[in-house]
Amino acid sequence: MASPIRILTAVPICDGHDSAINTINLEFIRHGIEVVYLGYHRSVSDIVRAAAQEDVRAIGISSYNGGHIEFFADVVRELRKQGAHDINVFGGGGGTITHDDAAIMARKGVDQIFFAGTSLSEMTDYVRKQYGKPRKKRTHAKNPDLVLARRLTEIEDRSGARRRSAITGDGSTSDRRKRTGRVIGFTGPGGAGKTTLIDELVLRFLNQDRHSRIAILSHDPSVIGQGALLGDRATMINSQTDRVFMRSMATRGQAGGLSPATHDCLAHLAQSNFDYVIIETVGTGQEAMPFQNDGIIDLTVLVMNPDYGSRLQLQKIVMLDLAEIVVVNKSDLQRARTAHSEIEQRLEQNRRGQKLIDTVAKRHRDPGVDRLFDLISADRTR
């Protein structure tokens, strides 16, 4: 069985009309498509960069604010400039894109425009039919990120095939000698604010060293029917730059917060000349211990929400024993003070010198995030 089709969807810059694309995204994932959603008000360069890094088959653009002829054409032009001829572009805009416009856009390299009244199933069928065939080898890639992105796709497809044919063993290629980047793992329950926290840390990494590059491996769960909505890019506003290589992965049926291909992808990224490699699990449960002791991850951060329930619940969270750093995010909530002292006590029992930090990641220039950043970057120089 082939791997799911991966596409990227977005709404153009200066356009906040996300109602249609939200509905369409849900329909796509229900039909087994993995959708990397970039959100609204997105520039051509953000879209092309994301499509290249995510190595999607196609980009779907939903435009309702005009300027679509130029915008779609710019996306196609920029893709070709980078050598990503094999990433296709389609889209729609209700009644705002006329048939005449669509004809011009087709001449400029856009595959398909869906007009008002197109049913969701027509769109889904189109994507599955047009973008479901195997791709040829890429020959023109000018951007090294494109090569890396395709390599990750190959690893992902291979792990999928292996899992499905029930071959066990991890086939790890981790080689510590070649390693360059420091690998930091973030995990924690859903809604704790991991994504926002990582994005705020990325901003600090980028400002600290003007030449550093960061890789992010972000996970979201696959739904029944194998589709997945990979939406972290939409909220990670600081991570949409050429200095960040971000890859969104679906769990593709594996429990525990990661994908079957995570280990190999991470090993590959760790050798790919990044200063930091950050991995974010899906929201995890109490029993989860997503990061194995396999020598790839240097530092583990558990991000908690102050609302974890009673003190007793804390005893059940396995990662509290394993993480080097525990973060209580949303520490502006009332419950946060109690949470801090309860977790502090719990960590003291471990006697492992684990660090506990309170943050409000949603706050610009949050001093707690500054402290976390200092801790992580100091750890690197050690």
Minimum distance from residue 336 beta carbon to other proteins (Å): 15
Residues 6+ apart with CB under 8 A from 106: 113
Phi, psi of 274 (to 5 degrees): -100, 150
Tokens found for residue 382: 């050690």
Cα dihedral sign for 75, 219, 6, 138?
Answer: positive
Our CB check for other proteins shows the closer of 229 and 339 to be 229
Minimum distance from residue 345 beta carbon to other proteins (Å): 28
Phi, psi of 299 (to 5 degrees): -150, 135
Our CB check for other proteins shows the closer of 177 and 365 to be 365
Helical pair 68-81 and 44-54, crossing angle rounded to 10 deg: 40
Our CB check for other proteins shows the closer of 12 and 60 to be 12
Q: How far apart are CA 129 and CA 134, in angstroms?
A: 11
Our CB check for other proteins shows the closer of 19 and 292 to be 19
Q: How far apart are CA 205 and CA 182, in angstroms?
A: 12
Minimum distance from residue 157 beta carbon to other proteins (Å): 27
Minimum distance from residue 68 beta carbon to other proteins (Å): 8
| Interacting residues toward other proteins by CB under 8 A | 12-19, 22-23, 26, 37, 39-41, 43-45, 65-71, 74, 94-96, 98-99, 115-117, 119-120, 196, 199, 231, 234-235, 237, 362-365
Query: Within 10 Å of residue 92's Cβ, how many Cβ atoms?
Result: 23
Q: How many CA atoms lie within 13 A of 154 on its CB side?
A: 10
Minimum distance from residue 231 beta carbon to other proteins (Å): 5
Q: Is 376 exposed, middle or buried (0-12, 13-18, 19+ CB in 10 A)?
A: buried
Minimum distance from residue 267 beta carbon to other proteins (Å): 30
Strand ordering across the sheet containing 244-250? 244-250, 214-220, 276-280, 182-187, 299-304, 325-328, 355-358
Q: How far apart are CA 13 and CA 335, in angstroms?
A: 39
Our CB check for other proteins shows the closer of 3 and 222 to be 222
Minimum distance from residue 364 beta carbon to other proteins (Å): 3
Our CB check for other proteins shows the closer of 61 and 317 to be 61
Minimum distance from residue 101 beta carbon to other proteins (Å): 8
Our CB check for other proteins shows the closer of 69 and 318 to be 69
Cα dihedral sign for 128, 112, 21, 160?
Answer: positive
Phi, psi of 89 (to 5 degrees): -130, 130
Our CB check for other proteins shows the closer of 196 and 272 to be 196
